[in-house]
Amino acid sequence: MANFDGPGFSMVDESWIQTKAIDIEPSTDFSPYLSRILEDCVWNGNRAIVFDVYWDVESVNTKSERRLSSVKLSTKNLCLFLRLPNQFSDNLKDLYRFFASKFVTFVGVQIEEDLVLLKENHGIVIRSYLEIGKLAAVARGTPIVEFLGARELAHKILSCDTSRLDSIQSKWDEAGGDDRLEAAAIEGWLIYNVYDQLQQ
């Protein structure tokens, strides 16, 4: 059984997020972790998986190109952080197939450009996705929330304390690996709760 044996973090409402960070190599079988994420998401009611993607900048003359470097997947209780290799390896297909699932809705913040880049640069298609800022803007009648980042969006919708996240992000370059993982978990958890709130 896939074990989320990375550090666990307590959220401001006392809930607990268990994390797992994986450096994917050609021989890594990370599919059990995806199955566990799927299972958690199905049983937690709203079938939402919050995701975020990170890019590496590569340069060719005056132009830069982007390569998918990491992926974050969050459910109510879990946060999976996958660091991708430079070269395509066959096991990445598991991730590509996971994104194509229609069982669940992939929820993200400011993902429009990401979706274009995922398709153009890697042929990855997320089939069932939701740009949560746009939905929140319509649902709440406040146009500005469409343009906010994860923390500000959560701040507007949930009005909860985000000082721990602020503290890590304001000193991002000096933050250690666990701090960054905690920030990832907090952001995932914030968006999960925004989505949950909007569904009421």
Q: Which residues bind a second copy (CB under 8 A)?
A: 31, 35, 38-39, 42-43, 46-47, 52, 55, 57, 59, 61-67, 87-88, 90, 92-93, 96-97, 100, 102-105, 109-110, 113-114, 117, 121-125, 127-130, 135, 138-139, 143-144, 147-152, 166, 169-173, 198-199
Residue 131 beta carbon to a second copy: minimum distance, rounded to whole angstroms = 8
Q: Which residues contact 78 (CB under 8 A, 6 or more apart)?
A: 4, 17, 18, 19, 20, 36, 37, 40
In terms of CB distance, is 7 or 96 closer to a second copy? 96
Considering beta carbons, is residue 14 or 170 the nearer one to a second copy?
Answer: 170
As a whole number of Å, the end-to-end CA separation of the chain is 33
- Which C-beta is closer to a second copy: that of 20 or that of 155? 155
What strands, in cross-sheet order, belong to the sheet with 8-10?
8-10, 16-23, 78-83, 63-74, 48-60, 105-108, 129-131
Reported as type and span, the H/E element at residue 79 is: strand 78-83
Min separation Cβ 180 and a second copy, Å: 12
Least CB distance to a second copy at residue 56 (A): 9
Rg (CA), the chain: 17
Angle ∠(144,104,182) on CA atoms, nearest 5: 65
User: Residue 96 CB, nearest distance to a second copy (Å)?
Assistant: 5
